[in-house]
Structure 1
Amino acid sequence: MSRLVVVSNRIADPRQTAAGGLAVALAEVLNNTGGLWFGWSGKIVDDAEGDDVHMLQAGPVKLATVDLSHVDHDAFYLGYSNGVLWPVFHYRVDLADFDAGYINGYRRVNQLFARKLLPLLRPDDVIWVHDYHLIPLAAELRALGCTQQIGFFLHIPLPPPLMLAAIPGHDWLMRALFAYDLVGFQSQSDVDHFTKYVETEAHAQPLDGQRWRAFGRTVRAGAFPIGIDVDEFTGLTYASEAVEMYERMKREYSRRKLLVGVDRLDYSKGLPQRMRAFREFLTRHPELRSSATLIQIASPSRENVSAYTDLLRELETLCGSINGNFGELDWMPVRYIHRTVPRARLPGLYRASRVALVTPLRDGMNLVAKEFLAAQDEADPGVLVLSRFAGAAEQLKEALLVNPYDTEGTAAAIQLALQMPLEERRDRHQAMMRTVRQYDVHWWCESFLAALAEAQPEEKGTSWLRL
């Protein structure tokens, strides 16, 4: 079996799967192949080169990391990755900082990763690169002579071609994807955007509906929606911390139905729109006011960026206004929590909630939706209100799908969710859980790697000039 080499901006110890994320997804295959996980150490140093590769043995898995200089971190991570790609890929071109010249730092760090990774590779390694930080990594590896199979998975959405074309140098960025043998996306709509872009902008030749040829390379593309480890999350639901949270929530809110939202504080999550919809619900249904409470967790994120501080101020103002206008001495409509809640406690909160509001303006997948479903009591499950603009909406069609920009429509969905009969709640939950179980995180990992194994590169000896 070939060794799996995972490359991502940040790494995690696969022995600590309770942390969630990629560690849960990749732990099994990394352990089975004695894999290598390569990425940024999380440290920012004064040394401009950041030459040293730090090695750590985590069971059968090697963890290899490099440090970044202040200049490289600011340009690569804060600047181009999160100041240009993140907003544009989430359809917020208005928030992108195109004029700061961050692209040179983005290229420089990808070149650094390629130089440091190459000596660690074996001839039969399979390389899996993750997310928007490292789009050009395969091109940099190819330029250094790397001929191994390389796959790429984009965890965030891919916007339509005209929106992509707003990025200066977009042609360079998308051309770099042809250095991969397989490119994976979260949803079919992302694949459709990729298809339209490469055919119209790059004049790529479609081969069979899954492969395109351009720039002397053939790339395969497909949708591989990421899932959760259902058994692992169900186990957390019955663990002591989650049970304690569940029992406490049931005691404190014995006379009320809970709604829950769990998000990072990010403009892509639609938090102000959600609060306006909840306010509209309270306005339209005074008879339900004291019977429902929304617990909104908004974990801190990039609070040194002006767009996030503005969002924080707006969200705090909305929550305060709703509580001031509708609250009673013995009831507050919104409990707003601006801190990170331990993952071990979340299943208990999900299980105690009658409704989950997962209403991003745009999201690659959104695993909160799937975790909420996995935590429910099958005999008396809660209702998922889900944005049609989340990647999860392609799979979870039995959720109450909403347009988060439609305040009245989302308010109506909240009312419908709170009053949904038990039989309908059960039917919807059972149908969605069949999907969540079938397309879990293990399916995601296995199906991507199987597709990568089938995507044999046609030009093993072809040189790849640095873009």
Structure 2
Amino acid sequence: MSPENAPLVLVSNRGPVTYEDDGTVKRGTGGLVTALTGLASHRDAVWIASALTDGDAERAREAGGKPIEVTSPAGGTYSVKLVASDPAAYDRFYNIFANPMLWFIQHYLWDLSNAPDIRRHEVEAFEWGYNVVNEDLADAVVEQIDGVDDPVVMIHDYHLYTLPGLVRKARPDAFLHHFVHIPWTQPDAWRVLPTRIRNDLYEGLLANDIIGFHTRSYRWNFLQCCRDLLEGYEVDFDAGIVRTPDGREVWIRHYPLPIDWNATRNVASSPRVSEFEGQLLRRRRDHLILRVDRADLSKNVLRGFSAFDLFLEQHPEFSERVTFMAQLMPSRTDVPEYAEYLERIEALVAVVNHRHGTPDWMPIHLKLRDDLEEAMASYKHYDVLMVNAMFDGMNLVAKEGPVVNERNGVSILSENTGAHEELGEFALSVNPFDIQETADSIHAALTMDAAERARRADGLRAIITQRDPGDWIDWQLEDIRKKRA
């Protein structure tokens, strides 16, 4: 089969859907699935992903390892190949090495005076977990591209850093493109890992032809890491190229991820969103502050609530006039650090509500659930959108909110989010660790005059609607064509 006629092969840990034990199908969650759903809709593709549930594993067995046609609850039909790994290996892969080890490194989350401690437990999680799952998915890729001349494989995120090397060994002619959806940290952050493990990860990743990141700064950090942590590799910062010891050139690029803003607006106009709007507007105070996030350590939820606490203390004139609505999706609760973090969030909310609340007013309204339509109703009516993540690959909330908001709401945006490179000019930029600055930004946003609110909101909308996921995909495919030529 010629490469022009062959479908792209996409590889990620999480697929576009998951099968529940009762046979129902749920849409996959997260920004990566959103991005790849656009790619799968844009061009014929086979999507290879891990079987995450018993239902996924059963469906994979029924399909005999072949791709299956799947209709997503969110719309669209995809050809999906689900790969079931040994459950013990997958647990090591996901819960010990990928999360928290790599996630914490790539978000600067380790308190290095206390953690991590690398023992045999962690090393075996890499050898008998991370590598095993990468091998399983690599085998599925090699099987899928059998008989295809010069196939194109697009690999996604931090779960699959060793997979490209395995595919490259089996199919030297394959074109491998890897997009990393989370931040890439500076060299010292990676020194947490034993040298051998670190080298295996980098060598696997550098088996690709192109490696993509969301921002210029992540791209720059990766080039620095290759220079400082590896031997025998030549790094050309100006060209964005890493030359491997065997003479290959790896292009290092950045492709900021846009949202499907038309689809977002379509969801915002749905009847169920209107129902939530009615409930929200009946209870609405003068001002609404909103955050929509996973309850992830990197999202900096505690400091956001602490800044609101400080704002209420310093500006009592806003008492009973403002509500901070936080819709948080519990995340990775089987990882002890995350379970503890969720408990701390609930405890801080209780403290702030007790300290400032009245019989008729609860300052923080915490919702621990994932409901897109409910979030969309809140997007339409916030006065302030808080995105104060410590570090974030892109953060699509920073783009979704402004594109549907009807009140010229003001964005408070951490300078450490990927979205800040594009949107910082029209947001109130904050250092996510500076609680006083964040409190001051809340006050500035709530007291900003209408003309300035409109200027900033118009600027955000103009940037967000310049591109859509099709453009993001075309940008990457054009680089693939250039490099192949």
Q: TM-score, normalised by structure 2?
A: 0.87
Question: Partner of 1:39 in structure 2?
Answer: 49
How far did residue 240 of structure 1 move?
1.0
Question: Partner of 2:74 in structure 1?
Answer: none
Asked which structure has the greater RCO (Cα within 8 Å, sep 6+), the reply is 1
Question: Partner of 2:11 in structure 1?
Answer: 7
Question: Partner of 2:227 in structure 1?
Answer: 199
| Structure 1 residues 218-261: Cα deviation after superposition (integer angstroms, max 9, x where no partner) | 100111111110000011111111222223212211x4211111
Q: Distance in 1 between matches of 2:469 and 2:39?
A: 12
Q: Distance in 1 between matches of 2:264 and 2:135?
A: 37
Question: Partner of 2:154 in structure 1?
Answer: 128
AA paired with 1:64?
K
| Structure 1 residues 309-358: Cα deviation after superposition (integer angstroms, max 9, x where no partner) | 22122111111111111101111101111222x21232211111111111
Map 1:22-171 → 2, pairs under 5 A: 22-27=32-37, 29-31=39-41, 33-43=43-53, 53=65, 55-58=67-70, 61-94=78-111, 96=116, 98-99=118-119, 100=121, 101=123, 102-104=125-127, 105-121=129-145, 122-168=148-194, 169-171=197-199
- SS of equivalent residue, structure 2 residue 131: helix
Question: Partner of 1:364 in structure 2?
Answer: 393
- SS of equivalent residue, structure 1 residue 68: coil
Question: Partner of 1:463 in structure 2?
Answer: none
Map 1:257-276 → 2, pairs under 5 A: 257-276=287-306
Matching residue within 451, 465, 476 for 1:423: 451
How far did residue 171 of structure 1 move?
2.1
Root-mean-square deviation (Å) = 2.3
Question: Partner of 1:375 in structure 2?
Answer: 404
Q: Distance in 1 between matches of 2:117 and 2:155?
A: 25
- SS of equivalent residue, structure 2 residue 81: strand
| Structure 1 residues 152-171: Cα deviation after superposition (integer angstroms, max 9, x where no partner) | 00001011011112222212
Moved more, 87-96 or 384-393: 87-96
- SS of equivalent residue, structure 2 residue 459: helix
Question: Partner of 1:284 in structure 2?
Answer: 314
Q: Distance in 2 between matches of 1:278 and 1:237?
A: 27
The answer to whether residue 375 in structure 2 is matched with residue 346 in structure 1 is yes
Cα distance change on mapping 1:96 and 1:226 into 2, 3 Å: farther
Q: Distance in 2 between matches of 1:440 and 1:263?
A: 22
Moved more, 163-172 or 360-369: 163-172
Cα distance change on mapping 1:89 and 1:23 into 2, 3 Å: closer
Q: Is the 8 A contact 1:4 1:29 kept in 2?
A: no
| Structure 1 residues 361-413: Cα deviation after superposition (integer angstroms, max 9, x where no partner) | 11111101100011112xx3111111111111111111001112111110000
How far did residue 29 of structure 1 move?
4.7
Cα distance change on mapping 1:137 and 1:227 into 2, 3 Å: same
AA paired with 1:242?
V
Matching residue within 215, 238, 261 for 1:230: 261
- Unmatched tracts of structure 1, length 5 or more: 458-467
AA paired with 1:343?
L
- SS of equivalent residue, structure 1 residue 345: helix
AA paired with 2:82?
T
- SS of equivalent residue, structure 1 residue 140: helix
Cα distance change on mapping 1:320 and 1:28 into 2, 3 Å: closer
Question: Partner of 2:365 in structure 1?
Answer: 335
- SS of equivalent residue, structure 2 residue 401: helix
Cα distance change on mapping 1:18 and 1:40 into 2, 3 Å: closer
Moved more, 29-38 or 65-74: 29-38
Matching residue within 311, 316, 327 for 1:297: 327
How far did residue 58 of structure 1 move?
3.4
Moved more, 283-292 or 86-95: 86-95
Moved more, 408-417 or 444-453: 444-453
Query: Would you say how many aligned residue pairs link Structure 1 and Structure 2?
Result: 450
The answer to whether residue 414 in structure 2 is matched with residue 387 in structure 1 is yes
Q: Distance in 2 between matches of 1:314 and 1:437?
A: 37
Q: Distance in 2 between matches of 1:391 and 1:158?
A: 11
AA paired with 1:98?
I
Q: Distance in 2 between matches of 1:23 and 1:123?
A: 28
Q: TM-score, normalised by structure 1?
A: 0.91
How far did residue 27 of structure 1 move?
4.3
- SS of equivalent residue, structure 1 residue 155: coil
| Structure 1 residues 421-450: Cα deviation after superposition (integer angstroms, max 9, x where no partner) | 111111111112121112332222211221
- SS of equivalent residue, structure 2 residue 362: coil
The answer to whether residue 423 in structure 2 is matched with residue 396 in structure 1 is yes
| Structure 1 residues 2-60: Cα deviation after superposition (integer angstroms, max 9, x where no partner) | 42111000111599989774454344653564310001121369x9xx99525312377
In percent, how many aligned pairs have the same letter? 29
Question: Partner of 2:346 in structure 1?
Answer: 316
Q: Is the 8 A contact 1:88 1:96 kept in 2?
A: no
Q: Distance in 1 between matches of 2:89 and 2:364?
A: 41
AA paired with 1:37?
W
Q: Is the 8 A contact 2:17 2:28 kept in 1?
A: no
Q: Is the 8 A contact 1:84 1:98 kept in 2?
A: no
Q: Distance in 2 between matches of 1:202 and 1:233?
A: 43
Q: Is the 8 A contact 2:299 2:388 kept in 1?
A: yes
Cα distance change on mapping 1:227 and 1:333 into 2, 3 Å: same
Q: Distance in 2 between matches of 1:345 and 1:296?
A: 11
Cα distance change on mapping 1:32 and 1:423 into 2, 3 Å: closer
Q: Is the 8 A contact 1:16 1:23 kept in 2?
A: no
Moved more, 115-124 or 218-227: 115-124
- SS of equivalent residue, structure 1 residue 128: strand
Q: Is the 8 A contact 1:226 1:444 kept in 2?
A: yes
Q: Distance in 2 between matches of 1:443 and 1:153?
A: 15
